[in-house]
């Protein structure tokens, strides 16, 4: 099932038993454990290669 389909099917045709089982996969629902922001550098947000200084000598 694609992520989109999965999202759309949320809360539909799911039994309580299935829901508890799904929740059991995740010890704690915290944003920090479920959401990782990748690539902390700004390089991608620039319109031209604005590369970090240590790329070059």
Fill in the DSSP letter of residue 27: S
The rounded distance, in Å, linking the Cα atoms of 44 and 12 is: 38
- Shortest Cβ distance from residue 27 to other proteins (Å)? 12
Q: Tell me: does residue 13 bind other proteins (CB under 8 A).
A: no
Site for other proteins in 19-48 (CB under 8 A): 19-20, 22-23, 25-26, 29-31, 33-41, 43-48
Q: How many residues does the chain have?
A: 57
Sign of CA dihedral 9, 11, 17, 19: positive
Would you tell me which residues interact with other proteins (CB under 8 A)? Answer: 2-4, 6-7, 10-11, 14, 16, 19-20, 22-23, 25-26, 29-31, 33-41, 43-57
């Amino acid at each position: 099932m694609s992520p989109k389909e999965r999202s759309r099917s949320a809360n539909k045709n799911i039994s309580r038993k299935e829901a508890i089982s799904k929740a059991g996969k995740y010890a704690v629902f915290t944003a920090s454990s479920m959401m990782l922001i990748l690539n902390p550098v700004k390089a991608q947000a620039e319109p031209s290669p604005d590369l970090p200084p240590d790329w070059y000598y």
